Amino acid sequence: MTESKVAARLVLDHARPIVVDMLRYLKYPELANALGDAPSLSALRHVAPQIANTLGDWIHFGPKRRAAAGAVNALHSAALLGLRGDVSSAAVMSLGAITHAARARAWHRRPWQILRWNTVRQRILNQARAEQLAYLGEMDKPNEP
């Protein structure tokens, strides 16, 4: 199997169905049908930017809009890279599309959990920074006999 066929299978058979399911889950069946009906990477390359723009107009909650449009944009990038035959980069972008789609579903399903996790994560980062600065401050002190 040639590299372009591998990339096409990766994008069309693995990443695209997850993004289509995300669009259906977010209650945009017409966009999901348009994306799912694209028969090739070339067609997907032309359809994906239009869908991303439509999502930007329809979804007003910022984090969910960014995640959903990010999934479609990553799928678009994976299609472009797949057309070039760059399998490894298409695989990375396909994973990005899958990750963004999961994030959009999470924002749709339970946004309070993500907001709580962001707060907890920031608290952990602040504590780690404080400990690191304290450690660096101790290292700068001269050794006293």
Question: Do residues 46 and 104 share a domain?
Answer: yes
Question: Do residues 77 and 144 share a domain?
Answer: no
| Residue-wise pLDDT tens digits, 64-112 | 899 999 999 999 999 999 999 888 999 999 999 999 998 898 888 777 7
Question: Do residues 82 and 22 share a domain?
Answer: yes
Question: Do residues 55 and 118 share a domain?
Answer: no
Question: Do residues 53 and 123 share a domain?
Answer: no
Question: Do residues 127 and 102 share a domain?
Answer: no
Looking at residue 40, what is its pLDDT?
92
Question: Do residues 68 and 85 share a domain?
Answer: yes
Tell me how crowded residue 39 is: count the other CB atoms within 10 A of its CB: 8
pTM: 0.74
Question: Do residues 17 and 70 share a domain?
Answer: yes
- pLDDT at residue 115 is higher than 90: no
Question: Do residues 96 and 28 share a domain?
Answer: yes
Question: Do residues 99 and 114 share a domain?
Answer: no
Burial of 56 (0-12, 13-18, 19+ CB in 10 A): middle
| Domain enclosing residue 126, as ranges | 110-145
pLDDT (mean) for 114-133: 82
- CA angle (5, 96, 124) in 5-degree steps: 155
Computed over its alpha carbons, how large is the radius of gyration of the chain? 21
- pLDDT at residue 128 is higher than 80: yes
Structural domain total, the chain: 2
Question: Do residues 28 and 66 share a domain?
Answer: yes
| Residue-wise pLDDT tens digits, 19-78 | 999 999 999 999 999 999 999 999 999 999 999 999 988 888 888 899 999 999 999 999
Question: Do residues 92 and 143 share a domain?
Answer: no
Higher pLDDT among residues 145 and 137, named by residue: 137
At 68, give phi and psi (nearest 5°): -65, -45
Q: What CA–CA distance (Å, rounded) separates 43 from 36? A: 10
Higher pLDDT among residues 54 and 137, named by residue: 54
